[in-house]
Structure 1
Amino acid sequence: MSNVYNFNPGPSPIPAEVLTKAKANMFNYEQSGMAVMEMSHRSPLYEGIHFRAMDQLKDILQIPDEFDILFLQGGASLQFAMIALNFLSEQKKAGYVLTGSWSEKALKEASAIGETTIIASSKDNQYRHIPQTDLTNLPNDTAYVHLTSNNTIYGTQWSQFPDRSKIPVIIDMSSDILSRTIPWENIDMVYAGAQKNAGMSGVTLVIMRKTLLESANNTLPPSLSYKQHADKQSLYNTPPTGAIYITGLVTEWITQQGGIEEMARQAEKKAQMIYDVIDNSNRFYTGHAEPASRSLMNITFRLPNEELEKKFLTEAKEKGFIGLNGHRSVGGCRVSNYNAVPVEHVIVLKEFMEHFMEQNG
């Protein structure tokens, strides 16, 4: 719908070109008479979709050969527990850096499985910044370190990931994967639900260093074992075929747009438009995140009072803006600036924010 400006935090927009291509081919794939969701996942026709999507991810993210790519299910939330089940032994502790609600949830699930410790946290500052974090001198009994790269609720993001030592580093990149380059030399595992930048809900991307995979727990049920899924090339059980197909189309689209570097450039350009409005509003709009920790994906802000916030959101909805309300746990407003949000939509939102301030400031 041309009169809708979708800023939903997730599931979020899918590129219009991807939806057009899916409409034309997804429901009668390659004139086979079958929709992608109807084909056997053991068939050569589906395997072409499956492995092409993996190859495209490897190409656009420049994933080294020493990593495996997995397509799993259960969302990023299942990974909170699955990581601990695979890598947290009785003799060790899992280290967590707390930067928002999702890192808290990851810590909670791991704590139900084994011993955990908090390496750094910005909770005492209402998660307004990314805390100073040193990963180079951690105790030897640290099983792994877990970070959340972007914080959708509070609007903060790691601009650079910290250097690491020998301790494995695992990063939840659900809300900024495919929007930035990844320094693989400092990372052992990345995971992400696809429904923000990598397609539709249903598939979870896991990219894991093979040496980390070799250290995984051998006593788990196969369905919870990374080794099992890697050995079977993510075909141990029926994969979310339709979601993987859409991820393949999204990676094609990113390549056509100029790759990850162009996605990063566009993210910076779009986010700066909204931050400029906030910074030049004489505190009519007040950003939650400290400037050095601001997210390019989720821009969170408040208005002078809740009455004005309700008016802002009501008028925005009347103008066709979707998803601008802040998370229910914190309130306020939020602009989610994922890859598929067109620059033109951000310009319209910028103009609406300026006009609303003129009328109500």
Structure 2
Amino acid sequence: MRAFNFSAGPATLAEPVLRQAADEMLDWRGTGASVAELSHRGAEFMQVAAEAEADLRTLLSVPADYAVLFTTGGATLMQALLPLNFAAPGQAVDYVITGHWGKTALKQARHGVAAHVAASSEDTGFRDIPPPSEWRLSNDAAYVHVTANETIHGVEFRDVPEVGATPLVADFSSSIASEPVEVSRYAVLYGGAQKNLGPAGIAFAIVRRDLLEREGQPRAEILDLRAHAAKGSMLNTPPTWNWYLLGLSLKWMLGEGGVAEFARRNARKAELLYAAIDGSGGFYRNQVAPAARSRMNVPFSLHDSALDATFLSEAKASGLIGLKGHRALGGMRASLYNAMPEAGVQALAGFMADFARRHG
């Protein structure tokens, strides 16, 4: 029996996706070979790539004036590519920091550009979103960067503020496809796929085409997003197996009802888990401001950290894995991505209540 996997990423994949991949492992669509063995430039895999792009566009309602890229290197590489491609040498870029990954994005940007912290909630432990009235945006920034959902700190923008005419760029690694998003509000949406879209090893970028016309900074062709777009994300050999699994995941999500359906499911799952935490009488604690609580990643601590190892051990024995918190925070973390069924969250909530009764 499969465990309920609450890992933050690489994360749980939908069982139908894994079963189809297993069935097709040795012979994909009658080719006599695995999809991982086929040429990325052959007609068979080109169809996989085309279907994945079309399905992502359908799932997220991506407008025609946006390019869709599938890249290697994950979100962190994309964070380094953003200023190289979209900011002139020395031009300011604004970053709103709401957690660990916002800080990482800022660190990657501090090469050749004037990276500016427009707002940060670090002084209060990344437990809330900085009020928009306190954002100190530059007059001539190349873009404003936000992290839509902080995977480690469990802070999520429920509504990203307007930033005027400056292009808005967002890391959507851990919340993409979890609910409808108005793509046209953003100049770039990017992220790693290993949470809601597929396996680790492939990333996505949805880029408004006019940004691709920017000269940016001197860079090798392999670091030029214009070149990747021109070659259909096949400037070099892509991670074909990962791309194939991503495509299967997209088809599964569309078949389940798309982002509107997953928004409903994710709201129910998050409500169930936060109720288990808040209703525990202090045995479990989540310190994020309620209005900024993530639906995807729920960090929580036990009232006595000496119980952490016992909690994790007993949870694993109960078929609940991937609950250890990130080393930056400790404690626990449950990730509730699209492929996590509500039954898994119900099982976790029940276990938590029982554990509190026995160890409280």
Identity of aligned residues (%): 39
TM-score for both structures, normalised by structure 2? 0.97
Cα separation, partners in 2 of 1:135 and 1:26, compared to 1, 3 Å: farther
Query: Which residue number in structure 1 is paired with residue 122 of structure 2?
Result: 123
SS at match of 1:95: strand
Query: Which residue number in structure 2 is paired with residue 291 of structure 1?
Result: 290
Deviation at 1:314, TM superposition (A): 2.0
Q: Is residue 154–residue 288 contact of structure 1 (8 Å, CA) maintained in 2?
A: no
Query: Which residue number in structure 1 is paired with residue 34 of structure 2?
Result: 35
Query: Which residue number in structure 1 is paired with residue 106 of structure 2?
Result: 107
Deviation at 1:275, TM superposition (A): 0.4
Q: Is residue 135–residue 165 contact of structure 1 (8 Å, CA) maintained in 2?
A: no
Q: Deviations over 1:99-153 (max 9, x none)?
A: 1111101101111332111111110110001112269984332111111111111
Report the AA paired with residue 241 of structure 2: G
Cα separation, partners in 2 of 1:230 and 1:275, compared to 1, 3 Å: same
Report the AA paired with residue 187 of structure 1: Y
- In the TM superposition, 1:13-92 aligns within 5 A as 13-92=12-91
Q: Is residue 89–residue 112 contact of structure 2 (8 Å, CA) maintained in 1?
A: no
Q: Is residue 89–residue 216 contact of structure 2 (8 Å, CA) maintained in 1?
A: no
Query: Which residue number in structure 2 is paired with residue 6 of structure 1?
Result: 5
Q: Deviations over 1:231-259 (max 9, x none)?
A: 11111111111111111111111111110
Query: Which residue number in structure 1 is paired with residue 220 of structure 2?
Result: 221
Query: Which residue number in structure 1 is paired with residue 318 of structure 2?
Result: 319
Report the AA paired with residue 183 of structure 2: W
Report the AA paired with residue 124 of structure 2: N
Give unpaired runs (5+ residues) of structure 1.
Answer: none
Worse-superposed segment, 52-61 or 182-191: 182-191
Give unpaired runs (5+ residues) of structure 2.
Answer: none
- In the TM superposition, 1:66-215 aligns within 5 A as 66-133=65-132, 138-215=137-214
Q: Is residue 130–residue 158 contact of structure 1 (8 Å, CA) maintained in 2?
A: yes
Cα separation, partners in 2 of 1:105 and 1:357, compared to 1, 3 Å: same
Report the AA paired with residue 171 of structure 2: D
Q: Deviations over 1:186-214 (max 9, x none)?
A: 20001111111001111110100001111
SS at match of 2:142: strand
- RMSD between aligned alpha carbons? 1.5
Deviation at 1:184, TM superposition (A): 2.0
Deviation at 1:91, TM superposition (A): 4.2
Query: Which residue number in structure 1 is paired with residue 257 of structure 2?
Result: 258
SS at match of 2:96: strand
SS at match of 1:119: strand
SS at match of 1:30: coil
- In the TM superposition, 1:263-274 aligns within 5 A as 263-274=262-273
Cα separation, partners in 2 of 1:54 and 1:157, compared to 1, 3 Å: same
Aligned length: 360
Cα separation, partners in 2 of 1:26 and 1:50, compared to 1, 3 Å: farther
Deviation at 1:288, TM superposition (A): 2.4
Deviation at 1:350, TM superposition (A): 0.7
Q: Is residue 158–residue 293 contact of structure 1 (8 Å, CA) maintained in 2?
A: yes
Report the AA paired with residue 46 of structure 2: E
SS at match of 1:205: strand
Report the AA paired with residue 110 of structure 2: S
Report the AA paired with residue 79 of structure 2: F
TM-score for both structures, normalised by structure 1? 0.96
Inter-partner Cα distance in structure 1 for 2:161 and 2:25? 41
